[in-house]
Amino acid sequence: MSDNVTIAISKGRIFTEALPLLAGLNIRPEQDPDVTRKLILTTNQPDVKLIVVRATDVPTYVEYGAADMGIAGKDVLMEYTGNGVYEPLDLQIARCKMVLAAPKNSKEINGRLRVATKYVITTRNYFADQGRQVEIIKLYGSMELAPVLGLADQIVDLMDTGNTLRANGLVPIATIAEISSRIIVNKASMKMKHELIKPMLKKLAAVVNKT
């Protein structure tokens, strides 16, 4: 196993908010993923590189060892069914809520509820904990349209400001989970590269506690 550390991360909000944390470890990417087409980014540290992948793929790359570490939202980790990663640290970035939302002034539904979401596992678990069976309709985006067009009664989605929900006549009726991004580590890398990774985690925790 090499003496390099590879960190998987997705473009967008998580990458932007992770930059100051990485800078606290004196790790700075030498390319901007929004500008370059490269998916492997070198950094000012010759033994650390970043790979840019889809947010939902971060835990897969880490579990199978293509990356030693990764930064992933808790929403992604709640949906992930593998068990080959450690989740040692909440980075407290890219914070939002996963909510159950319904049309404003909608009536209580006594029959079988139809819920649209891309978070199928989390939604199923949430309603199972309540002892309620629901029909889950998997969508990949524009969740707010589902109740408006009669596809579903309610939705489960991430909410930041709530503006998109309000603009489409929806209101949050329950918070399912508080979401933030976490550092995850490949189990084999934690053992084989502990002299590299454990100090990084310790410094990262210190940086997070200062913010």
Tens-digit pLDDT string for the chain (211 aa): 568 999 999 999 999 999 999 999 999 999 988 889 999 999 999 999 999 999 999 999 999 999 999 999 999 999 999 988 999 999 999 999 999 999 998 888 878 999 999 999 999 999 999 998 899 999 999 999 999 999 999 999 999 999 999 999 999 999 999 999 999 999 999 999 999 999 999 999 999 998 7
- Looking at the fold, whether 15 and 74 belong to one and the same domain comes out as yes
Q: Are residues 106 and 160 in the same domain?
A: yes
pTM over 0.85: yes
Task: Give me the number of domains the chain comprises.
Answer: 2
Residues 33 and 83 in one domain: yes
Residues 90, 187 within the same domain: yes
What's the pLDDT at 148?
Answer: 92
Q: For the domain that residue 75 is a member of, what is the CATH number?
A: 3.40.190.10
Q: What is the pLDDT of residue 2?
A: 65
**Residues sharing a CB contact under 8 Å with residue 142, sequence separation 6 or more, in sequence order:** none
Residue 20 sits in the same domain as residue 85: yes
Q: How would you label 120-138 residue by residue, b for 16+ Cβ within 10 Å and e otherwise?
A: eebbbebbeeeeeebebbe
State the pLDDT at residue 16: 95
Do both 171 and 161 map to the same domain? yes
